[in-house]
Amino acid sequence: MVLRCAWLTIILINLVMPSPAGAQDNLPLKVDRLSEKVLTISSMTGNSRVVALATQKGLVVIDSMWSPAIARETKSRIATAFGRDDFAYLVLMNDFDLSSGGTEAFPQAQIISHQKCRESLSQNNEQRQSYLRRRAAWFEGRARATEAQLEDMDAESADAEFKRRWIVLCDRIAHDLNKGYRVVPPQITFDDRITLDLGDMTLQLIYFGEASNAGDLVAWVPEEGLVFLGDMFHGLHVLSDPHTHAPFVPRWLNTLDYLLDEAHEIKYVLRANSQEVWTPARLRAQRDFIRDLHNKVVALDAQGLNLEQATAALSVDDFPYVKDWYTWTKAPDIIQNDIARFIASVWKTLNTSAADEVESALRSSGIQDAINRFSEIRNNADFYLFEREFNSLGYKLLGEERIDDALAVFKLVVETWPDSWNAYDSLAEACLNNGQEELAKEYYLKSLELNPENENAKTILKQLKEK
């Protein structure tokens, strides 16, 4: 039988340990000892976690934490906690930098991932340094924004202490990413699942199906009753990023069904991107929510509703148990948005992309025929309209230097989604590419009217004014 509340009987020994000598700063990490053979290291801000196993065949680390430098500190704390440093395996739960950024810190360990994770890491190697600089800028921006928030807070409050830790973590990650790193490619890959015999325990790695990242895995250690989920249910979200991955829903459900089999005695359900510890009952509810939501969307499509009608027909009120979850109490708007995004992603598996249809007509017969085709299908329930897909088509045409066609598509987007600040921002950019500066200013100002926080519009309008 599944031990639904067994995790409550286990004492988590929280070891908040100082950074080792020579560390750049007091990195806000903590060590939680789940058992004699299992511990986790996570950021005190809750957005990153690794699991370490002490086995007869060596130490096993699951995920590597952002960068080689941070991974080395994490590795040092694992060695200190277990009193040994025989690192045998490093498991990458996906291709995201939270999982794969620290591979250089484990030269003696064999690295394991799903084959899709390895393929993605290899394909992206050439662009990695520019990507890391963009990520560094993002973290720097978050740190500075948080500093501004601190100015209006009680310096002694728990929220202020949390934000100070977040600033330290963001600055440290940004510092490391700006230095750059290389990803050591996994030596061991698999397709469906792999089981490692570690002497006194086994580690099953199961391909979850594409969720938030390439090669998303679930780790199951039956001897310890431990389920470790990668980044598929991250932070306060109740669903993985489903924009392109809805076809994998059956695999998600099969994987969760396997884990929740009554023969498996689950004690802990941990996630890579959250401090929240789930019970087996909470994992079961997560599975049931995905299945229930998916089935409801399929039923609405069968009734002949279009995407807009289906989205209006479903809300969190159709899944009342969600309101008992921690995520709902902290961020109800995120949950509502997750549901809407999931509906849209499932819709893509059941219907045809209007953007694809328009592109096909454009390339075969020209832009006027494409616009006519759009008028024919925009209210047809067999087609779905995603602003992002039309926007992407416009940028694809810009990249091909088909400026007139790109302008026509962006105008179509503005007409269809008149309240979208991003639609006006994109149309303004196309006008700039076409030398229409005054028209570009008009559209950037409209974008700012809809979204006063559009920094891109502010920057370009300033540059145009200074010319």
The boundaries of every CATH 1.25.40.10 domain in the chain are: 352-466
Please give the mean pLDDT across all residues of the chain: 85
Could you write out the three-class secondary structure of the chain?
CCCCCHHHHCCCEEECCCCCCCCCCCCCEEEEECCCCEEEEEECCCCCEEEEEEECCEEEEECCCCCHHHHHHHHHHHHHHHCCCCEEEEECCCCCHHHHCCHHHCCCCEEEEEHHHHHHHHHCCCCHHHHHHHHHHHHHHHHHHHHHHHCCCCCCCHHHHHHHHHHHHHHHHHHHHHHCCCCCCCCEEECCEEEEECCCCEEEEEECCCCCCCCCEEEEEHHHCEEEECCCCCCCCCCCCCCCCHHHHHHHHHHHHHHCCCCCCCCEEEECCCCCCECHHHHHHHHHHHHHHHHHHHHHHHCCCCHHHHHHHCCHHHCHHHHHCHHHHHCHHHHHHHHHHHHHHHHHHHCEEHHHHHHHHHHHHCHHHHHHHHHHHCCCCCEECCHHHHHHHHHHHHHCCCHHHHHHHHHHHHHHCCCCHHHHHHHHHHHHHCCCHHHHHHHHHHHHHHCCCCHHHHHHHHHHHHC
In the three-class reduction of DSSP (H, G, I as helix; E, B as strand; rest coil), residue 271 is classed as strand
Task: Locate 380 and state its tokens.
Answer: 């047809």
71: its two tokens: 């991974």
Residue 90: what pLDDT? 96
Q: What is the pTM (predicted TM-score) of this model?
A: 0.74
According to CATH, the topology of domain 6-125+184-286 is: Metallo-beta-lactamase; Chain A (3.60.15)
Tens digits of residue pLDDT in 314-356 = 888 898 888 888 777 777 888 888 888 888 888 888 888 899 9
Q: Is CATH 1.25.40.10 the classification given to domain 352-466?
A: yes
Q: Which of 377, 375, 467, 390 is nearest to 427 (CA)?
A: 390
269 or 26, which is more confident? 269
| pLDDT tens per residue, range 65-120 | 888 888 988 999 999 999 999 999 999 998 887 788 889 999 999 999 999 989 88
Task: Give the pLDDT band (50/70/90) at residue 10.
Answer: very low
Report the relative pairing of strands 58-62 and 87-91 from DSSP bridges.
parallel
* pLDDT tens digits for range 380-424: 878 888 888 898 899 989 888 899 999 999 999 999 999 999 999
Higher pLDDT, 11 or 425: 425
Share of the chain above pLDDT 90, in %: 38
Where in the chain is CATH 3.60.15.10? 6-125+184-286
